[in-house]
Structure 1
Amino acid sequence: MPVARRTDVVLFLIALVWGSSYLAAKTATGALPVTTVLFARYAISALACGALVASCRRARRWTRAEVRAGSLLGVTQAAILVLETYGVAYTSAANAGLIISLTIVLTPFLDRTASSRRLPWTFFVAAGLCVLAVGLLTSSGGLHALRLGDALVLAAAVVRAGHVALVGRLTARHPMDPLHLTTAQTVVGSALFLVPALMHMPDLAHSSATTWSQLIYLALFCSVFAFLAQTWAVQRTSASRASLLLGTEPIWAVAIGISFGGERLTVWASLGAVLMIAGTYWGQAIERTHRTATAETAKTAKTVEEDSTCPTPTPTSV
């Protein structure tokens, strides 16, 4: 199989497992408390990452920057999963997967490098389209106050956007090993959820094989595999193509929620799903085009400036 096609397959698999994570989390939280599910997910991920680090023959030494950044990102990542997992426990997996995709249009507002550039007005139209989509998704059965689950997932989307922007800032300062960062985050997450999960350890130990399979799936596939595979794939394709394929996550969330979770979308919710997917894709394309154009303009301006400061060669007499 050609490298390009293999890379596309990996990116589709990442989007698929992320899309399926909402139904898996919803099912797991039906059997165990949220904090216990999160502790198990983090602990299994930490063990897997530790095994990978130990098996690397040419492992690079940990740096203080990796430990500091990994610890901070571990806290923000834990906040995302708390909001997301509690949210999906009180709403549908399809709704959760669609609302969390707001991260795509929220990130440029929180990213310092992106906010320093004036985004086109069309980007704000796309963002407004996504807000309208959230309204349709959360009030498809009639006008009512925002449901708890939908509100928590919406908050998770905001925190996730801030987390993505923070990752960009921290990794831009120092080169960091993705495996080291992931390991640090999983260790921090395990520590954060250990105490709340202690009283429910007997329930975790006596969980059914189905529940354990869901926990292992969330840890190994939706966390460890997805992060490391994403790093591998992005290095072998363009950022635009990667973001396009990873952007299919909400589509998978809806498809899996309906096919395997028995969920249903009303007419208005279906319209909201279409608007959400269209708005996020549109906003993503606008931001990407604007970022590329700005980078090229800055590069051209720098070249002109360097040319203007070059000393003019003095003609020599013969």
Structure 2
Amino acid sequence: MRTTRARSSRLTDAVLLGVALVWGSSYLVAKDLTVVAPVVVVLALRYAISAVALGLVCRRARARISGRREVGVGVLLGCTQAAVLTLETYGVSATTATNAGLIISLVVVLTPLLDGVWSRRPLPAPFFAATTVAVVGVALLVSDGGFRAPGSGDGLMLAAAAVRAVHVSLVGRLTADRPYSSLTLTTIQAVVGAVLLTAVAAPRLGSAVPALPLSAWAQLAYLALACTVFAFLAQTSAIRRTSPSRASLLMGTEPVWAVAVGVGLGGERLSVLTVVGAALIVAATSWGQRVEGAHRLAAVEVPVPAEVGGA
């Protein structure tokens, strides 16, 4: 039994790392797209393709909604997810792809704070020491070439990190011990995002869509199918099998992938500070993952009395 759980845990961790990888690559792709089309058009098309793809998957899987509560949860999560992607896309259009991937990693600090407040079961001090090391790693990455005042794009990415932390925590809190399907929840989120952003982008779609080159459609397909359909499904499913804090740590490797893509495909420079910062983030993620896992296991083995705390 313990071996089976360990394998399941490793698989969940691998899935979340996959989410971090595709999201890390998404910043460069999204930035390129905002050069050839308005941000709202990019977002609307990304969501529309995602919603259609997920609808086909639901039909093939004969997915069913369990009730109105599941719809309500999906709509709420769809609004928060749409807010995250909107802030991220506008942010990356006004800053570098590498900076965007690095700043969003602050979610590894914000999510555990929210999770601890809502569960009334604060994480141990070593966990926050690990997140501090991760922040130091991000600072080293961003400081390459000298410190500078954050621009509007950097500020939007900070806001995106805060909203993403809320979204990840809500996924964990609202779906815990509920018979919800990750597929239907993800589909509802995509449909909500498609409706909202298509309504906003409607005045520009008629002129922008015919002008999109074939390469842009390929990039949109990647954002929709890999960075949205796969990532949303994987994130929702994996978070339900672990904790929001552990998920945020694993997905906190996203800036490392963002740097790797920026260097490998975007032609960005890899310096000593970049390497040191990336190494600190990876080490901090691994350390925090072990601390959080031990803390969660202890909470399961030694139940907390209702009057003391615990969700």
TM-score by length of 1: 0.80
CA spacing shift, 1:261–1:223, aligned 2, 3 Å? same
Pick the aligned partner of 1:209 from 214, 217, 222.
Answer: 214
Match of 2:298 in 1: 293
CA spacing shift, 1:179–1:193, aligned 2, 3 Å? same
Match of 1:22 in 2: 27
Gaps of 5+ in 2: 1-6, 307-311
Q: Is 1:108 paired with 2:129?
A: no
Equivalent AA in structure 1 for residue 279 of structure 2: V
Cα displacement (A) at 1:169: 1.3
Cα displacement (A) at 1:122: 2.2
Equivalent AA in structure 2 for residue 128 of structure 1: T
1:206 counterpart SS class: coil
Cα displacement (A) at 1:282: 2.8
Gaps of 5+ in 1: 303-318
1:136 counterpart SS class: helix
CA spacing shift, 1:104–1:288, aligned 2, 3 Å? farther
CA spacing shift, 1:152–1:233, aligned 2, 3 Å? closer
Q: Encode CA deviations 1:23-75: one digit per residue, 9 max, x unaligned.
A: 11111112111111111111111111111222234x32441011100111111
Equivalent AA in structure 1 for residue 52 of structure 2: L
Match of 1:32 in 2: 37
* Alpha-carbon distance between aligned partners in 2 of 1:161 and 1:236, rounded to the nearest angstrom: 18
Are the aligned partners of 2:22 and 2:226 in contact in 1 as well (CA < 8 Å)? yes
Pick the aligned partner of 1:186 from 190, 195, 201.
Answer: 190
CA spacing shift, 1:277–1:293, aligned 2, 3 Å? same
Equivalent AA in structure 1 for residue 149 of structure 2: A
Cα displacement (A) at 1:221: 1.2
TM-score by length of 2: 0.82
* Alpha-carbon distance between aligned partners in 2 of 1:180 and 1:277, rounded to the nearest angstrom: 33
RMSD: 3.2
Write the mapping of 1:302-317 to structure 2, written as runs, cut at 5 A.
none
Cα displacement (A) at 1:89: 1.7
Write the mapping of 1:101-250 to structure 2, written as runs, cut at 5 A.
101-112=105-116, 116-172=120-176, 174-201=178-205, 202-229=207-234, 248-250=253-255
Equivalent AA in structure 1 for residue 190 of structure 2: T
Are the aligned partners of 1:139 and 1:146 in contact in 2 as well (CA < 8 Å)? no
Q: Is 1:51 paired with 2:56?
A: yes
1:176 counterpart SS class: coil
Kindly report structure 1 stretches of 4+ aligned residues shifted beyond 4 Å.
4-13, 112-115, 229-248
* Alpha-carbon distance between aligned partners in 2 of 1:228 and 1:27, rounded to the nearest angstrom: 25
* Alpha-carbon distance between aligned partners in 1 of 2:212 and 2:281, rounded to the nearest angstrom: 36
Deviates more, 1:141-150 or 1:34-43: 141-150
* Alpha-carbon distance between aligned partners in 2 of 1:173 and 1:213, rounded to the nearest angstrom: 38
Cα displacement (A) at 1:92: 2.5
CA spacing shift, 1:178–1:112, aligned 2, 3 Å? same
Number of matched residues?
297
1:60 counterpart SS class: coil
Cα displacement (A) at 1:9: 7.1
1:157 counterpart SS class: helix
